[in-house]
A and B are shown apart, each in its own frame.
Chain A
Amino acid sequence: DIQMTQSPSFLSASVGDRVTINCKASQNINKYLNWYQQKLGEAPKRLIYNTNNLQTGIPSRFSGSGSGTDYTLTISSLQPEDFATYFCLQHNSFPLTFGSGTKLEIK
């Protein structure tokens, strides 16, 4: 199985801050990496697919980058509605595996 190591687990930031969340795969996943946002009591919502493709309707302050084993989600200017938990998912090979999550909290 491909292990997805996500960091940090917790992140405290203020409105307007730029933040980055990282996922490192245990092997090359060929950019087959998605990012999801999950708010308490809700299903995950896809933000980014295949490393850097923005889901329709998602604000452009969200962006993704990376290649090989290292991937990053960047939020350029945090808004109040962005405080949530974020997960990465690799869909390069079975079984599909998720990162452990990053909880983004208001400072």
Chain B
Amino acid sequence: QVTLKESGPGMLQPSKTLSLTCSFSGFSLSTSGMVVSWIRQPSGKSLEWLAAIDWDGDKYYNPSLKSRLTVSKNTSNTQVFLKITSVDIADTATYYCARSWYFDFWGPGTMVTVSS
């Protein structure tokens, strides 16, 4: 059974660094071709793909945010992390992680509010 779950700080102040964790089970990120992506969705709006990391450790970023994003994974290939630097109000959103380039399985999302 494939499951993913995001975790994050809930709320943080502008200019800080947002750190998110995606913990998953039911598949291994060490499997050839496997990918985990991060996607976000401001309330009432559409979805934005942010970043991905694949089984080989290759990283992919949305150019619109690339300078602020860092995606990584743990050595046991059970968690993927995303850091976003210098957050502002526009980064307020629900953040999801999803499996594969086809986004076949998603976590429930974690809501992040940027506020002073």
* Interface, chain A (partner B; CB < 8 A): 1, 34, 36, 42-46, 49-50, 55, 87, 89, 91, 94-101
Contact = CB atoms under 8 A, between A and B. Distances in A.
27 contacts: A1-B63, A1-B64, A34-B103, A42-B108, A43-B96, A43-B106, A43-B109, A44-B96, A44-B103, A44-B106, A45-B106, A46-B102, A49-B102, A87-B46, A89-B47, A89-B103, A95-B49, A95-B61, A95-B63, A95-B64, A96-B37, A96-B49, A97-B49, A98-B46, A98-B48, A99-B46, A101-B46
B62 interface: yes
Prevailing SS type, chain A contact patch: loop
B58 to A, nearest CB: 12
Nearest to B106: A43
A71 to B, nearest CB: 15
B95 to A, nearest CB: 11
Nearest to A44: B106
Interface residues of B, number: 19
A29 to B, nearest CB: 13
Given A49-B102, A91-B102, A44 B47 contact: yes
B55 interface: no
A22 to B, nearest CB: 15
Interface string B57-83: 000111110000000000000000000
A9 B33 CA distance: 35
Interface of B: 37, 46-49, 60-64, 96, 101-104, 106-109
A46 B46 contact: no
A87 B61 CA distance: 21
Nearest to B47: A98
Given A42-B108, A43-B107, A97-B49, 18 more contacts: A36-B103, A44-B103, A46-B102, A55-B104, A87-B46, A89-B47, A91-B101, A91-B102, A91-B103, A94-B60, A94-B62, A95-B49, A95-B62, A95-B63, A98-B46, A98-B47, A98-B49, A100-B46
